[in-house]
Amino acid sequence: MMGTVNHEELAQVNVPFIFTAERILGSWGRWFAVLATIMASLSAFSVTLGASARVLFALGRDGHFPLAFAKLHPRFRTPYIALIICASTVIIFGSTGIVRFAASMSDFGYLMGLGFVNFAVIALHRKMPNLRRPFKVILYPYIPILGILSCWLFVPALEARSFILGGILTFIGGVIYWFQPANRAELTYIFKGLSRIQIWYQLLKKSKMKILIVDGGKLGRSIADRLLAKDELSLMFRSSEHQITFIEESETICNLLEDRYHLPIIQGDGSKKEIIEQAGIKNTDVAIAASNDDGRNVIVALQAKRIGIPQVMAIIQDPDYITLLEEKGIVTISVPWSTAAMVENYLDRPGVAQLFEIGRGVASLVGVTISEKAMVSGKAIREIDIPKECVIAAVIRGKDFVVPRGETLINPDDRVIFVGPVTAIKKAQTIFQLKNKA
């Protein structure tokens, strides 16, 4: 355009592309340019709207925004709430007529975002060198550095209002991110006494377990399938309540895990301290040693406990290891003992054992003990907001079996037994374990 029209003349128009096309091709050129601009704008709008909705989806999924942002449409399996919010924002800004300011704000967000993406490439390569990546960065780290400079050097040249407002919003976002635990504690205090809001908050907080599975073999994959409890499409969107990271050494199994789960995979020896640390101790709530080798599971569990992961579990075949691990505060699951208990349960109570068809996901029978400070203590069952998908099958009070009715009171030390799908039972357990604030 600058080679066709003098730059001083071009600077005086708001639509330089259309102006230049009209200068070269006349009125036909003008209309062709208008049509091309509309098509290009619609294409960019479609891509940007889809991408921004996925950003909101990820923020909701990871707990930074309300969980509703990560809700998928039951039919189309798209984050429709995030799409509606993004589309509404576009409509509001588009209808105001402040095109230049809106475009400048968009450029600020786009340039800052791409700069952070390039910066994250460098940070992840340094902190998690063994993380599996479906892409290769040539001339690392020079290309990411060039990406950062080429994006952020243009930011100060934007409209002053957008630069100031964008900087303020970036600062606010950073504050919210870094002080998130304190904010949540403050929210809990503000909502004290509002039980339903408090329950919602606790459910949201509890649903965000970050789990590290060391070994992606059959046992590790079975655990992941159970925790995710989703079909293939939902696994792609990672909309389950748990976020899982694998550590696996085998290239073949890593490829299988990538195709199946679309989750972070760190390739390396999970018994090495430096490999486990790459998963991020602060970003891990539970580590599970899920190899078929007892000795390897013991080493992995001890390493994970030593570097400070809050909860560590190990799958053990040989019961002789149990005492050693439990002395270190490690939860052990003995496969022979678990199998024996299931066989005994089936032989003694075959009618009840049908509820334990966990592999098929039919239902589960799970109990929870009521503490003295529990919010439900002293309440009748009808007064408690129990998920509709599950029911209270029994209340065990000392040595007495209490048939649950609507007017049955829940007392401290009661053992309440739930029946229903796993997800519904988890919600019910959380509600019955909530404690009154002092």
DSSP string, 163-174: HHHHHHHHHHHH
pLDDT exceeds cutoff 50 at 171: yes
Residue 360 and residue 311 share a domain: no
Is residue 428 a contact partner of residue 404, using CB atoms and an 8 Å limit? Answer: no
pLDDT exceeds cutoff 50 at 359: no
| Element housing 316 (H / E) | strand 311-316
Residue 378 and residue 280 share a domain: no
Residue 299 and residue 155 share a domain: no
- Would you say residue 396 lies in a domain? yes
CATH value at residue 404: 3.30.70.1450
For 137-166, the pLDDT digits (tens) are: 889 889 999 999 998 888 888 878 887 888
Distance CA 417, CA 396 (A): 8
Residue 333 and residue 263 share a domain: yes
pLDDT band at 354 (very low <50, low <70, confident <90, very high): very low
Residue 355 and residue 280 share a domain: no
Residue 366 β-bridge partners: 418
Q: What is the DSSP track for 290-311?
A: --S-HHHHHHHHHHHHHTT-SE
- Would you say residue 189 lies in a domain? no
Tell me which residue of 109, 216, 212 sits closest to 152, measured CA to CA: 109
Q: Regarding predicted confidence, which is higher, 309 or 74?
A: 309
Strands (E), 109-268: 209-214, 242-248, 265-267
pLDDT exceeds cutoff 60 at 123: yes
CATH value at residue 268: 3.40.50.720
- Would you say residue 194 lies in a domain? no
- Lowest pLDDT segment from 76-90, 349-363, 390-404: 349-363
Pairing of the two strands 209-214 and 242-248: parallel
Question: Residue 4 corresponds to which tokens in the numbers above?
Answer: 């066709």
CA 273 to centroid of chain Cα atoms: 25
Residue 294 and residue 212 share a domain: yes
- Lowest pLDDT segment from 26-30, 132-136, 184-188, 410-414: 184-188
For 172-187, the pLDDT digits (tens) are: 877 776 666 544 544 4
- Would you say residue 387 lies in a domain? yes
- Lowest pLDDT segment from 45-49, 197-201, 294-298, 433-437: 197-201
Residue 313 β-bridge partners: 288, 331
Among 341, 357, 378, the domain-final residue is 341
pLDDT of 199 reads 46
Question: Residue 255 corresponds to which tokens in the numbers above?
Answer: 């490829």
| Element housing 419 (H / E) | strand 415-420
Residue 152 and residue 36 share a domain: yes
Q: What is the DSSP track for 257-277?
A: HHHHH---EEES-TTSHHHHH
Pairing of the two strands 415-420 and 364-369: antiparallel
Distance CA 2, CA 213 (A): 58
Distance CA 122, CA 116 (A): 10
Question: Residue 391 corresponds to which tokens in the numbers above?
Answer: 């029911």
pLDDT band at 438 (very low <50, low <70, confident <90, very high): low
Q: What is the pTM of this model?
A: 0.55
The one-letter amino acid code at 73 reads: H
Number of domains observed in the structure of the chain:
3
Say which DSSP state 396 is in. Answer: E
| Element housing 324 (H / E) | helix 320-327
Residue 235 and residue 288 share a domain: yes
Residue 399 and residue 369 share a domain: yes
Give me the domain span that covers residue 427.
Answer: 349-433
